[in-house]
Structure 1
């Protein structure tokens, strides 16, 4: 009777454990003392791309550990079995894992020796942190851009003052004009962080260049950008405007900027074309070093818009253009 009761309790316990394995959103992987898969739950299948039947009994290192780390993994396992000590056991770590398609991706991993197991078993809890890492990287870029803007703002104010007070107007006439331009510049800073629902491309351009409105032509259809695209686009326009103010067409009285955007195609093939052209400015040349501005103008545009920007350092001013899938800038 007691034996039957114990057997029933054992079956119930096994059923609970199986339910936990199947319900977990994190990958749960059981490895034996020889480094072979013993268990591989459905979340592990979904995250890593291998089937349970495909991996059970096989060496874990050959499947989910990038090749350059496999020797270290095997040495660490041997050392732990000998000393019961290791730098990655009983703690959370971040590392790269390998999917079935060969893609490496960042994971958070906790490895726990299973108490009472003989030979020893290890239980690994693995979580895909790709989205978190992308968000952290983007936040770092935005913080760098904020610092970059802070350094640039004084140069922009000085340029506005120099142009305003060097005209033929008197000081009394120039002062209210200067004040209006500074107010416009301050309003433009709000474009760094558009509202959660995104922003209109025309509003971003207007806010950023309102202080130079008499020498800037902007033309294009109304287009609502997603929140992320609006933020990237605001950074892009700010970088172009700052460079034009400090070194380009807006740094001299004769210079001007023409901005245009248009939509082409329809459905899945619809695209946004954006161009920035400077005229009658001083000679420009490609920067000798790659700074934060290049990250915004090139890398962020590639990453966020799926577009390859075209940059031309023409004799009388910069030319910048991008052609992006419409859904990349309008869909969240």
Structure 2
């Protein structure tokens, strides 16, 4: 019999032990295996025999092959010599059991004399002499190292798979992206917490249902079913392992944009499909906001460029306008008959209107801190109406003014409130463009409970109820691309509220939009009216410096009307070098001049004549960059300024501070 027949070492042990008891001990009690040698050599099992002192007396062919030694190299040598210290320790532990007639066995890893590591199954059978003493023992050994290594490798692999499965499960559960698993029929068999949160399903009402009923929008379900059927029958798929963007449906019926990748997993019993999804809602929203930011930046750049352009245009226009206003004023003052005075008044009115329009444009373009002062809202409305008159007229829009003549003043930044009026009128104009005439815009002012009320209404289509709540939101607009930026009404609301007021939208009597602005009335005392005629106070010696000769000459004539002496016209450099500064009581100087600008001229003039400190008036037609440059140069001090084009009253106001 042999282990190859399926019997274990312990199965063989009993039979061999009986033969050993009967035949392995020779006469005289000497341990002898010669009788069984031929039988053991025929066995594939490793068989060795040793005497009571642990010296080998026999090794069959299988054992010799394992030792890689000849029989004479084994017989007579100790277990330590052949098998090493590890086996000596194990054999010594067996001797007591053998002496009691027991047949011990064990299986374990051992290290042989050559340092090789083996896994052995070992069984021992005792041999006794005639007096019952232990003569020796037979050891039956099976080397199952290869089998054990395969078992351990398999166990390690199973353990690794278990660890991997645990890790994979943890990854799937903790993934921030939705993961869904479906079978070949398209039935959902698993989903992770992220999928439940994203699509609004609980596991109990999702698993076991067709995936098409859960997340595929109705319009795409037929295409999904056809794709599954085609792949099942042909193995051809257009979507496996491809990254796709599409819409998915949530449990509440809403659609969200997703990115999707589907992979096939082949299991022993079937195929399943794993879908890795990503909710793109936040990404799409971020992209939309970035696009809006790009549009806003582009719009800001255009506005900045427009402001720079307006600054240049203003400087070019304000000088000739200053001449027109000044000369027409002088003509009115010196007219010899009524007809000549009427002509001068018409010229003056047209030039003054042109100047106000330019100033209104520049006031909207320039960037500066708020400057609160008493203002008459009716004047701001009239100025805005003049500025927008051509645009309204060219679009066949009539503008009606219904202004309360007894309106109290307000404490406001005139430029900013003027911008509010202009924005409301321009919005009304845009709303009327697509309508057939007649097209009307009406501005009315009234006093109301300690406030001043401004109402801008039109006969347009009005604002749809669905968007009334968003009309003041920043960058919200219903206008076509290129027509509006969506910031006008938001800016209006911000300006009005910063002035302690309110703005509201409702529907007007003609069905169109009606914006109502309330601003607190000023409680300041009204200033005494200014005198209209030339001043007769003691005259000053005044120096006028402007690179535009006609502007300087016109101002000089105005100053002479008030009884002041004007020093001969000079260039900036001549005035500094030739002593005119020393004579002057007051200086008017243009801000922008070649060679030396007005601020540097002022500093040098004061250095030459300290009496001129705070008595150098800067004239400027640059209403965009000019005020900021003057304010920075003044620091904590004050520099008097007169904007071009200037009227006789503007000159009188400046002179009043120095006479």
Aligning the two structures, in what range does the TM-score lie when normalised by the shorter sequence?
A: 0.5 to 0.7
Inter-partner Cα distance in structure 2 for 1:314 and 1:90: 63
TM-score after normalising by structure 1: 0.54
Matched residue, 1:47: 198
Q: 1:19 to 1:253 in 2, by over 3 A?
A: closer
Matched residue, 2:514: 319
Query: Which of the residues 413, 426, 429 maps onto 1:242?
Result: 426
3-state SS, counterpart of residue 114 of structure 1: strand
Contact 2:429 2:441 in 1 (8 A): no
Inter-partner Cα distance in structure 1 for 2:282 and 2:248: 15
Query: Which of the residues 356, 365, 382 maps onto 1:185?
Result: 365
Matched residue, 2:589: none
Matches within 5 A, 1:21-170: 21-114=172-265, 119-137=270-288, 169=349
Matched residue, 2:459: 284
How many residue pairs align between the two structures?
244
Q: Tell me by how many angstroms 1:213 deviates.
A: 8.7
Q: Tell me by how many angstroms 1:93 deviates.
A: 2.0
Matches within 5 A, 1:303-314: 312=507, 314=509
**Is the helix fraction higher in 1 or 2?**
1
Of residues 8-17 and 142-151 in structure 1, the stretch that sits farther from structure 2 once superposed is: 142-151
Of residues 129-138 and 140-149 in structure 1, the stretch that sits farther from structure 2 once superposed is: 140-149
Inter-partner Cα distance in structure 1 for 2:454 and 2:297: 23
Q: 1:61 to 1:318 in 2, by over 3 A?
A: closer
**Deviations 1:294-321 (Å, cap 9, x if unpaired)?**
9959xx9xxxxxxxx9553555984148
Contact 1:255 1:278 in 2 (8 A): yes
Contact 1:21 1:28 in 2 (8 A): yes
Inter-partner Cα distance in structure 1 for 2:242 and 2:270: 22
Inter-partner Cα distance in structure 2 for 1:177 and 1:241: 15
Any gaps of 5 or more consecutive residues in structure 1? 189-202, 207-211, 221-235, 259-274, 301-308, 322-332
Inter-partner Cα distance in structure 2 for 1:242 and 1:183: 16
Q: 1:13 to 1:146 in 2, by over 3 A?
A: closer
**Deviations 1:106-146 (Å, cap 9, x if unpaired)?**
22222222367763322211122223333444555676778
3-state SS, counterpart of residue 204 of structure 2: helix
Of residues 29-38 and 129-138 in structure 1, the stretch that sits farther from structure 2 once superposed is: 129-138
Q: 1:256 to 1:144 in 2, by over 3 A?
A: farther
Q: Tell me by how many angstroms 1:94 deviates.
A: 2.2
1:214 matched to 2:380? The reply is: yes
Higher RCO structure (Cα 8 Å, ≥6 apart): 1
Contact 2:181 2:191 in 1 (8 A): yes
Inter-partner Cα distance in structure 2 for 1:101 and 1:316: 38
3-state SS, counterpart of residue 89 of structure 1: coil
Q: 1:29 to 1:243 in 2, by over 3 A?
A: same
CA RMSD in angstroms, aligned pairs only: 5.1
Q: 1:173 to 1:257 in 2, by over 3 A?
A: closer
3-state SS, counterpart of residue 426 of structure 2: helix
Inter-partner Cα distance in structure 1 for 2:261 and 2:159: 32
Q: 1:6 to 1:247 in 2, by over 3 A?
A: closer
Q: Tell me by how many angstroms 1:80 deviates.
A: 2.5
3-state SS, counterpart of residue 460 of structure 2: coil
Which structure has the larger Rg?
2
Q: Tell me by how many angstroms 1:284 deviates.
A: 3.4
Matched residue, 2:167: 16
Of residues 140-149 and 88-97 in structure 1, the stretch that sits farther from structure 2 once superposed is: 140-149
Q: 1:181 to 1:78 in 2, by over 3 A?
A: same
**Deviations 1:28-82 (Å, cap 9, x if unpaired)?**
1112211111220111111112122332232111112122221211111112233
3-state SS, counterpart of residue 5 of structure 1: helix
Inter-partner Cα distance in structure 2 for 1:51 and 1:74: 24
3-state SS, counterpart of residue 14 of structure 1: helix
Q: 1:146 to 1:256 in 2, by over 3 A?
A: farther
